[in-house]
Amino acid sequence: MQITSLETLMINLNTSTAAELDEVPQLKGHGFEIVRYREERGRFDEVRQLEEVPGLAGKWDGAEATVCIDR
């Protein structure tokens, strides 16, 4: 069997650990802040809420290809 395309592993903003979030290049070093934001304000409803996480404003562009939310 030959693999012709790679499947992208999606990281869930609502269930991932800080270490898992740090694996996303655009979020590297911000996993702790993302988890803290989630614990203080509740679950993410949209990926664009990353803009509200301290230190991530304008830095998370492109993360949409790797992160998701559960609905």
Residue 70: what pLDDT? 84
Q: Please tell me the distance from the alpha carbon of residue 62 to that of residue 42, in angstroms, as a whole number.
A: 23
Which residue range forms the structural domain that includes residue 40? 11-68
In degrees, rounded to 5, the angle at the alpha carbon of residue 61 between the alpha carbons of residues 5 and 41 is 110
The pTM (predicted TM-score) of the whole model is 0.84
Flag whether 4 is in a domain.
Answer: no
Whether 22 is covered by a domain: the verdict is yes
62 lies in a domain? yes
Would you say residue 3 lies in a domain?
no
Q: HSE on the CB side for 35, CA within 13 Å?
A: 14
Q: Domain total for the chain?
A: 1
Q: What is the pLDDT along the chain (71 residues), one digit of tens a residue?
A: 444 444 567 999 999 999 999 999 999 999 999 999 999 999 999 999 999 999 999 999 999 999 999 86
